[in-house]
Amino acid sequence: MRRRIPDFSVPGMLEAVATEAGFTPVEAFVTSWAYTYPDAETLGRALLAPAGFALLVGPEREDEVKKAIVDGLAAFRLPDGGYRLENEYRYVIARA
């Protein structure tokens, strides 16, 4: 039987996982970070780069994948042609 991966975005989940692992949660908080890109070309390049994704895609499909990334993030396009992506991160500090 496979164990289900918890949804870490749910409030209280990190604390529950820490407790289950034998830790005592001391503090939990959420922070956000915005990533901005000046244009579609920069956005496509930046999101194709992580974890060797460009190598997996291969040079023959790189433009196609960049276009799919940019098209998929059209809702985040700014009036000046740039893009802004906001991410939210949850943290828990726990004691052993």
pLDDT of residue 69: 94
Under 8 Å between Cβ of 22 and 96? yes
Instruction: Note the pTM of the prediction, 2 decimals.
Output: 0.71
The pairing of strands 83-95 and 24-37 is antiparallel
d(CA 53, CA 43): 14
Which residues, including other chains, have CB under 8 Å from residue 42's CB and lie 6 or more apart?
none
pLDDT tens for the chain, 96 residues: list them. 677 888 888 999 999 999 999 999 999 999 999 999 999 999 999 998 886 887 888 889 989 999 999 999 999 999 999 999 999 999 999 999
CA 37 vs. chain centroid, Å, equals 15
Residue 66: partners with Cβ closer than 8 Å, 6 or more residues away: 41, 44, 45, 48
